[in-house]
Amino acid sequence: MASPKARFRKSAGFTLIELLVVIAIIAILIGLLLPAVQKVREAAARTKCSNNLKQIGLALHMYQDSNGKLPAGWVTNNKSGVVAPSPGWSWQYLILPMIEQGPLYTQIAADVATPAGCAAGCTATGPQPTPLAGAFYLSQVPIYSCPSDRGDVINSNYNGYTKTNYVCNRWVLGPDSGNNPAALAVQTITDGSSNTIIVGEREMTFNVAGSSLIRHNNSSCSFEGRAGRGLNPRPATGTVYNTGSEQRLAYSSNHTGGVNFVFGDGSVRFLSNSVDADPQDAYTNFPTLDSNYVNFTLQKLQLPNDGLPVTLPN
């Protein structure tokens, strides 16, 4: 029979050293787990972004099937008294019916059939600095946003219009350097549709993203991207680019190591930050075939009819 003293003896608890060891082990495990969780989360975001671009690529082809050519980079109606954004509607508005956004397209009811293009007076006569009346102008179209970018819906770089993370290649959709209509059809891309960018990313964490549905008069970067000196330029620590920065036209993303693009054949490719680009090319340049831009992969992917072979990076 146990003695009363043994019966009432309390069991020993953790010592301070044991408790500290347990805490240290838990901290190490959390430290190992967090990067893995972040990698999984970013992989999922990159896949969702790729799916967005896949849908955009399909919509561009559907638009061509109905209209005989790809959508214009942007159009304006130039009609006094007509409600229009500043200065026109972008390619993103034109493909709304092809991405299951027909009701939004109908609700906005923009006049995009009247204009021949942008050449004659590209300064619109409608309301200039603020969003047009009606909440639907501020509607966020889900596939126009990359989940890796910060969660802003409104883009303050363009007077409060909705943000988009996808901008087009103006050399394919137009307008040209004189703002004349220049949209191509896929079959007129002589370099091959699989070797030509149509749409790529731009984020708003470090850069200015784009303006959903419209080409804003603050800058053409609201609807288009350019090759420049390469992908993902970054500003000085603690600063961000704005619509006055040269780098505003760059393609950029918050994905690790590169940027997603949709090509003319509808395929989506992830191009690495290391893809070679002309180190002398300003992002604001409008490349031409007689320049040395065509010696670099990123520039050749931007130009649809340079006639030069290109080897896409794996």
pLDDT over 80 at 128, yes or no:
no
- What is the enclosing helix (H) or strand (E) of 109? none
Q: 131: which 2 tokens?
A: 């969003």
Strand partners for 270? 260
Does residue 62 belong to any structural domain of this protein?
Answer: yes
CA atoms of 93 and 91, how far apart (whole Å): 5
Number of domains observed in the structure of the chain: 1
Domain for residue 286, yes or no? yes
Domain range for residue 218? 17-302
In a domain? residue 11: no
Beta strands in 63-207 (DSSP E): 74-75, 87-90, 154-155, 161-164, 166-169, 197-201
What is the per-residue pLDDT across 210-239, written as a single tens digit (0 to 9) for each? 999 999 888 999 999 999 999 999 999 999
Does some domain include residue 269?
A: yes
Residue 30 lies in a domain: yes
CB 164 within 8 A of CB 126: no
Question: Does 69 fall in a domain?
Answer: yes
Domain assignment present for residue 121? The answer is yes
CA atoms within 13 A on the CB side of 17: 0
Alpha carbon distance 151, 210 (integer Å): 14
**Tens-digit pLDDT profile for residues 188-200:** 999 999 999 999 9
Contact (Cβ atoms closer than 8 angstroms) between residue 70 and residue 173: yes
Q: Distance between CA 57 and CA 51 in Å, rounded? A: 10
Whether 9 maps to a domain, the answer reads no
Digit-coded pLDDT (tens) for 257-286:
999 999 999 999 999 999 999 999 999 998
